[in-house]
Structure 1
Amino acid sequence: MKKPNDILSIGYIAERTGLSVSAIRFYEEKGLITPHRNAGGHRRYMRSDIRRLSFVMVAQQMGFSIDQIRSYMKRLPEGRTPTAKDWKAISSEFRDVLEQRIQSLSRLRDRLDGCIGCGCLSLDKCQLYNSDDKVGLTGAGPRLILGESEG
């Protein structure tokens, strides 16, 4: 059963999250939160929406798009506060995506000074990383940085 203080105004949600009212409405329009309307038509939020919006803010900071975030959040239960188990299921997949990004950025960092692996042969070192443009035969773009082998 909900307690009266579990139903929160948009102003209170803005104060607690640090988001502007317009940002909260934007996230509502994007389907990331779903407020209820009281008899006067005013938006009312559940206390769990503070966590949902916090998740959105952190995910955006890490480079996830609104569509990606919405996809993750669809896995959360509606009508009740997500449990630690609910959040753990999301965080496991979220962690996998972040790990892939970390590996990709590490490859970029480690190879950027020498060659970006594009097959352009514009640097003398490209002969070392991609002699005879072997990588170019497998497709366009920075193949080595994207994690593909040299063939």
Structure 2
Amino acid sequence: MFQYYPEVLAICENIIVVGDINIDLKIETNHKFIKYMESFRRTLINKLSKSSTHAKTQIDYCFNNVNDLKSDYFESLTSFHKPIWIRKHEIVTQFLVDENEHSRTDTPFNLEDLRIDDQFNMMEIDEESSFEGHEMIDGNEQIHKGYAF
């Protein structure tokens, strides 16, 4: 798996490993893979209480050595695997642009005024957000109109 790891580290030390690992880490005997990844200084950032497939297994993961990353799964209507999202959780700066001088200044927000509204594991789906070509069955389920079973 890490055949070219030393060469890659020479170019970039911040590496994120994401994908279908095909090992269910919810099973404790499989935790040796976590130790293996930690030997390359990669930390698992997914919670082991979630499912990444519709079969309720968790075989898709994100390992990294980058600070302040969050990762979780989107619900998927078209795939067996739930897509993984990753985001950097950082302080945002405000950009001030003077169009007359064509200059830009990065001004940090006043941290006392900063309100953190972290809803990274919340996903809201309602009837208005259903995809075209899908039909709502009830409040929790959509089906594709083109499929016949």
TM-score range, shorter chain: under 0.3
Which of these two proteins has the greater Rg computed from alpha carbons? 1
Question: Going by fraction, where is strand more abundant, 1 or 2?
Answer: 2
Under a length normalisation based on structure 1, what TM-score does the superposition of the two structures give?
A: 0.25
Question: Going by fraction, where is helix more abundant, 1 or 2?
Answer: 1
